Amino acid sequence: MPNLSDAGTLTARVLTSLIFVGAGLTQATDPHEPLHMITHRGLPLAHVLYVASTAVLLGGALSLLVGWRTRWGSIALLLFIVPATFLFHLHSDQADIELFTRDLAIAGGLILLIQHGPGRLSLDARAQRRRLTLPEPGTRSAAVAATGGATAQPWRDAPAVEAALVPARRDTVGAGHQGA
């Protein structure tokens, strides 16, 4: 059952993703400002950097929002935000200083997500729970699961099923290798 910690992790993950959703949508709908900033800094391949950064912003935001591949999404966003922060917000202007410290705080939150994961209220956690509850092949529960829980006793046929699924062992030691 979810607890307060799970709700807090979910809330933090969603709120962090909203920053990147907003930035990604703004960047995707109005490419002029980001392209100007990239070219103004003298970076090469401005259009490639623009498309890549937009994809990272939106893909990483979606990853955080639903909690799917959260660590990878957080790493991608961290690898985007740290260089962007130093390239675009490290100036003497007060507004840039505030954006610089805000972005560093966001980077700290991303590091926490990388370290501790998305929490139990995420698609990552759901997939992990499913992997842990799937029965092992060759067990009674696997046989029941394979038949959809039929009332027959499929584990009685398990040796025949296993023999059909597992390749036959070939005893090569001594067979046909007799000395002269």
Least confident of 37-46, 97-106, 166-175: 166-175
8-21 confidence digits (pLDDT tens)? 999 999 999 999 99
Domain boundary among 108, 128, 148: 128
Burial (CB count <10 Å: 0-12, 13-18, 19+), residue 34: buried
* CA angle centred on 146, ends 141 and 151, rounded to 5°: 70
Q: Which domain holds residue 152?
A: 137-165
- pTM score > 0.85 for this model? no
Split at pLDDT 50, 70, 90, the class of 155 is very low
110 occurs within a structural domain: yes
123 occurs within a structural domain: yes
117 and 30 in one domain? yes
Domain tally for the chain? 2
80 and 158 in one domain? no
156 and 109 in one domain? no
91 and 20 in one domain? yes
176 occurs within a structural domain: no
44 and 14 in one domain? yes
72-115 confidence digits (pLDDT tens)? 999 999 999 999 999 998 877 888 899 999 999 999 999 999 99
